[in-house]
Amino acid sequence: MMRRIDLRQVKRTYTTHIVPDDACIGYLAPSGSPRIGDLLLAEVVSVGKHVAIETINGFTLNIFPGDLIIGAFGNRYATDQYEGYVPAHWTDQCDLLSIGGVCGEVCSMHSSMGAPTRLRVLGALCDASGVSLNLHSFATPAPRALQAGQVILVVGTSMNSGKTTTVGTLARALSRAGMRVAAAKVTGTAAGKDGRFFRSCGADPVFDFTHCGFPSTYMLNQDDLLAICDDLFDRLAAIEPDYSIIEIADGIFQRETRMLLASKAFRARVDHVFFSAGDSLGAECGVRRLRADGWPIRAVTGLVTASPLALREVEEEAGIPCLSIERLVYGEILLDLVDAPKAAAVGESQAFRYAA
């Protein structure tokens, strides 16, 4: 039997942002096995690592025992935080895996992490007809498009190596030079702050996998993963950008990152690669592996650039520019990143180049 809910008394998490309010009518006693993207109504039992949630509007709201939240079941792969999975069956309780509202069961965590925030599952969210809701049902199809401009791919050694900062910095540098820039995050766990950062740096539009109906991408099959990429490329290409910047989460050894880097179809879409690394050894290893697979590496970026000594090590060992945020923002991007007519149009002083 369906029980109605009052959304004014509920905190909706970012992962559900594509679901309209008028679809969230009530909740049902669940049965069977939850699926990736199934929406749930839950009560906060105890507050652990995540003391707040990110809402559908991008606000950060603190949560307290007794609060009601709407989240979605999904898997999470975060080397610095939690490894978690959709439970095999609907259970009385589950864990909050991310600030964006992905829910599941933690099975491992970084040694620096505390216990996860614990939730009591009240039921499966449903519409007025009593049909349970899944994010995938609310994904709108992308318009078919041919080419998303020049495509820049940002990958890295690991989580928190500087990829998101690199995407934003590239967007800022290119948009300052008069280029139309779009951006997307194709893998990871639902969180709106990265997209808002891209937009604040000049990228517009900005999308991620949640627009395709997925709360996260960990443990998706290859067909779904490539379909997400196709969908996001089409969304970006619809506005005919000069540049589309694509971020793949985590590091090049991670499951879904490996899948995409091994895909010939994905490779055919990419024109330039920037590699973010935390140290010089990781940078050299990553560049070497990507070069061996034929990827067009333009520069190393990321946390390694915080150290002038480490930066020099990268340039000496990898034989490739290692660009700090400042050098990216103020134009030191490889000359071939911007075609000659457009570079001339914005003026020599703003043309992107690397001073070798």
Tens digits of residue pLDDT in 34-58: 999 999 999 999 999 999 999 999 9
In a domain, 313, yes or no: yes
What sections of the chain are H helices per DSSP? 163-176, 193-200, 222-237, 255-262, 264-267, 280-292, 308-318, 325-329, 340-346
Let me know whether 84 and 158 are in one domain: no
Let me know whether 302 and 208 are in one domain: yes
Q: What is the pLDDT of residue 336?
A: 47
Domain that holds residue 234: 150-350
Q: What is the pLDDT of residue 260?
A: 98
Under DSSP, the state recorded for 91 is -
Tokens of 170: 């590239």
In a domain, 172, yes or no: yes
In a domain, 72, yes or no: yes
What is the mean predicted confidence (pLDDT) over 19-37? 96
Instruction: Report yes or no: 290 and 297 within 8 Å, Cβ to Cβ.
Output: yes
User: Which residue, of 89, 118, 138, is where some domain finishes?
Assistant: 138
Residue whose entry in the numeric block shows the structure tokens 């940002």: 154
Let me know whether 278 and 313 are in one domain: yes
Let me know whether 114 and 194 are in one domain: no
In a domain, 44, yes or no: yes
User: Which residue, of 138, 160, 177, is where some domain finishes?
Assistant: 138
In the chain, DSSP assigns E strands to 3-4, 10-12, 26-28, 39-46, 52-54, 60-62, 68-73, 76-77, 82-85, 93-96, 102-109, 117-126, 150-156, 181-185, 206-208, 243-247, 272-276, 297-301
Angle of CA points 29, 47, 74, to nearest 5°: 50
Let me know whether 235 and 307 are in one domain: yes
Q: How confident is the model at residue 351 (pLDDT cuts 50, 70, 90)?
A: very low
Let me know whether 327 and 178 are in one domain: yes
The yes-or-no verdict on residue 299 having pLDDT over 50 is yes
Let me know whether 53 and 192 are in one domain: no
Instruction: Report yes or no: 72 and 15 within 8 Å, Cβ to Cβ.
Output: yes
Closest C-alpha among 286, 224, 231 to residue 259: 224
Q: How confident is the model at residue 335 (pLDDT cuts 50, 70, 90)?
A: very low
In a domain, 144, yes or no: no
In percent, the amount of the chain with pLDDT more than 70 equals 92
Count of CB atoms situated within 10 Å of the CB of 142: 18
Q: What is the pLDDT of residue 47?
A: 99
The yes-or-no verdict on residue 104 having pLDDT over 60 is yes
What is the mean predicted confidence (pLDDT) over 153-177? 95
Let me know whether 157 and 306 are in one domain: yes
The whole-angstrom separation of Cα 33 and Cα 27 is 16
The yes-or-no verdict on residue 194 having pLDDT over 60 is yes
Let me know whether 208 and 342 are in one domain: yes
User: Which residue, of 138, 165, 181, is where some domain finishes?
Assistant: 138
In a domain, 331, yes or no: yes
Let me know whether 195 and 333 are in one domain: yes
Let me know whether 41 and 165 are in one domain: no
Question: How many domains is the chain partitioned into structurally?
Answer: 2
In a domain, 356, yes or no: no
The whole-angstrom separation of Cα 25 and Cα 125 is 8
The yes-or-no verdict on residue 233 having pLDDT over 50 is yes
DSSP string over 224-247: HHHHHHHHHHHHHHTT--SEEEEE
Let me know whether 165 and 313 are in one domain: yes
The yes-or-no verdict on residue 218 having pLDDT over 70 is yes
